[in-house]
Structure 1
Amino acid sequence: MQSKINKLLNELNEQLNFINLEIDNQLTRCESAIDIILKTIQALKLTINKNSFKSEGEEIQFFKETKPQFVSKLIYYNTIFKIEMKKPNGGNRILKKYYNNELGKLKAFFDNELEFYKYYRSGSTYLDYKYFLRGKFDIKMSLDNHYFESDTKFSTSHDFKVAKILANDLIQLYLENQLILIDNKDGAEKSQRKPNIKMTWTGSKVALIELMYALHTEGVFNNGASDLKDIAEYFEHIFEIDLGQYRRAFLEIRARKSDKTKFLTTLNEALLKRMENSDEVI
């Protein structure tokens, strides 16, 4: 059963990465992601209904660690969709107030769930048998109405709370990034110290585009929440370079008959050679 679950999660991540690469519009991206995630969660539910957990430990592990990875993505994209749908028209001052209010909602959740948040973040396990076993809920633990409306064969009293915590981390990053973008548009000084040396990209544009797609695919910026367009604009800004039609360039890279990742392969070979050189001064 675990192999089927892992396959579902890997396929979901691949599909979401593809959506983030190909769709620039935030609302359209969220709609597509939500549709895919819902179908994947339904497949996950069918897998659980058709199979039995071998032990209580396996059941706890699924509802504490595995299922929240799926549901957190649904919460994230659905929340971002609602935030962007309700975004007011107006200047940067109005937008900053709006996004800060949304951050306030995240803090309110944190304050309301502080006890469980500490339990989960600290890696505690002494209440797992109540939190993450089906049918073991305790009414004294301030249960959400969501639990009573959910499928008890596919839910425990606290697996949704874990998913909410994971989603909120990404939502916070998204909101903070939007605020940074607004500040940059206003010409605000960056909080980080500016380097004394200006770095100029002297490689080819195609090489930089290949590197950019690789970094975005790996999700190394903002826990994978950064848009490809934002990364491209950031690269263009710091290197003062025009990447042009980088999506078309990516299609050309993908169409290469041999060594599709030519630049990345060169980087790998050069770094390995440097590591093998014992006389290299670090």
Structure 2
Amino acid sequence: MNFKKLSQKCLVDLDIIERTVTKNLMRIHLSIQLCNTTLDKMRKQVHLKGFKTREEEIDFFKNIKSLPLSKLIYFKELSNLEYYLPKEDESEQKKCIKHHLKRINYFFSSNIDFGQYIEMEATFLDEHYFTRKFNEYSSFHNCTIFEIDSNFYTPKDTLFAQFKAYREFVIYLRKKLTTLSNRSEKTLIEQSNLKWTGNKIDLIELIYALHASGSIKAKGIKEVAKAYEELFEIDLGNYYRKFIELRNRKLIERTRFIDTLRDKLIQRIEEADQ
């Protein structure tokens, strides 16, 4: 049996499941099943024939087995997330996702030395980490069913697979969190009945004033203008050109709309005091 071909076939089949199975939980279930089957085939072959050299053993546990094992861990994390994720309350969904991100961040920080070893693509400890020679000094912490078989695990092969799986899972969580945030913002805009009844030039004056004051955190005036266009369902056109019109006003009229707002607010306060 060619372990590399078996591992690559698993990835190909996972891609087919991803593209053809529409139901999320069913897709996750089938992916877990496929990874389990692949790992079981590998386990039986390792028992049957073993490895010819130490280098071959290291390559298997570090580079080959880690592919289906990391995918198994990844899809189990997905299953756990989707099963327990609140169904309706988006704020609770965000809390749940942030909890998972915090948990994974703790995992990375708790294993920072091994993480640095992996990031540096070091190999000087591979014999200790990825051969069964040192199994007697390792523990069964966080083992899957396959690692209970002492002939099919090494001191760090599961941890290495977890690093790969959690990196992928973090990407998934961040995308899901971004989708929820964008959906919330879109919902607020869609539910808004606010309409701008003034002149476009007045709104542009207000936008530039808010941006200049630093009261709105934004990358630039374009981001602020776009937000107001969506909020009020209005097309401001070329607001850069309109700003030039503001600059060309007489000095005492440059902030005409802002001055009007000030006067109206003072009037409202005085009326309220009466």
Q: TM-score range by the shorter chain?
A: 0.5 to 0.7
In the alignment, what sits opposite 1:185? 183
1:144 aligned to 141, 145, 166, which one? 141
Secondary structure, in 3 states, of the residue corresponding to 2:8?
Answer: helix
In the alignment, what sits opposite 1:165? 163
Please give the residue correspondences for 1:30-179 in structure 2 after superposition, counting only pairs within 5 Å.
30-137=28-135, 139=137, 144=141, 146=143, 150-179=148-177
Aligned letter for 1:14? V
2:25 aligned to 24, 27, 36, which one? 27
Please give the residue correspondences for 1:241-280 in structure 2 after superposition, counting only pairs within 5 Å.
none
Task: State whether residues 135 and 150 of structure 2, in contact with CA within 8 Å, keep that contact through their aligned partners in structure 1.
Answer: no
- Give deviations 1:213-271, integer Å, cap 9, x for gaps: xxxxxxxxxxxxxxxxxxxxxxxxxxxxxxxxxxxxxxxxxxxxxxxxxxxxxxxxxxx
- Give deviations 1:135-168, integer Å, cap 9, x for gaps: 31474x7773638961111110100001000000
Aligned letter for 2:175? N
Taking the aligned partners of 1:63 and 1:192, their CA distance within structure 2 comes to: 47
Aligned letter for 1:144? H
Report the Cα offset of residue 112 of structure 1: 1.1
Change (3 A) 1:99 1:147: closer
With the length of structure 1 as denominator, give the TM-score of the two structures: 0.62
Q: How many residues align?
A: 191
Report the Cα offset of residue 69 of structure 1: 0.7
Aligned letter for 2:127? Y
Task: State whether residues 19 and 29 of structure 1, in contact with CA within 8 Å, keep that contact through their aligned partners in structure 2.
Answer: yes
Report the Cα offset of residue 14 of structure 1: 2.1
Report the Cα offset of residue 38 of structure 1: 0.8
Taking the aligned partners of 2:30 and 2:49, their CA distance within structure 1 comes to: 29
Q: Which runs of 5+ in 2 are unaligned?
A: 190-217, 224-274
Taking the aligned partners of 2:85 and 2:78, their CA distance within structure 1 comes to: 10
Taking the aligned partners of 1:83 and 1:111, their CA distance within structure 2 comes to: 21
- Give deviations 1:82-136, integer Å, cap 9, x for gaps: 1110011332221111101110111011011111111122111221121111031
User: What is the aligned-residue identity percentage?
Assistant: 27
Larger Rg: 2
Task: State whether residues 30 and 80 of structure 1, in contact with CA within 8 Å, keep that contact through their aligned partners in structure 2.
Answer: yes
Taking the aligned partners of 2:26 and 2:143, their CA distance within structure 1 comes to: 27
Task: State whether residues 45 and 154 of structure 1, in contact with CA within 8 Å, keep that contact through their aligned partners in structure 2.
Answer: yes
Secondary structure, in 3 states, of the residue corresponding to 1:54?
Answer: coil
Aligned letter for 2:143? H
**Which structure carries more helix by proportion?**
2
With the length of structure 2 as denominator, give the TM-score of the two structures: 0.63
Secondary structure, in 3 states, of the residue corresponding to 2:151?
Answer: coil
In the alignment, what sits opposite 1:10? 8
Task: List, as ranges, runs of 4+ consecutive aligned residues in structure 1 with deviation greater than 4 Å.
Answer: 191-195
Aligned letter for 2:5? K
Task: State whether residues 7 and 64 of structure 2, in contact with CA within 8 Å, keep that contact through their aligned partners in structure 1.
Answer: no
Secondary structure, in 3 states, of the residue corresponding to 2:66?
Answer: helix
Taking the aligned partners of 1:53 and 1:192, their CA distance within structure 2 comes to: 57
Task: State whether residues 86 and 92 of structure 2, in contact with CA within 8 Å, keep that contact through their aligned partners in structure 1.
Answer: yes
In the alignment, what sits opposite 1:275? none
Q: CA RMSD in A?
A: 2.6
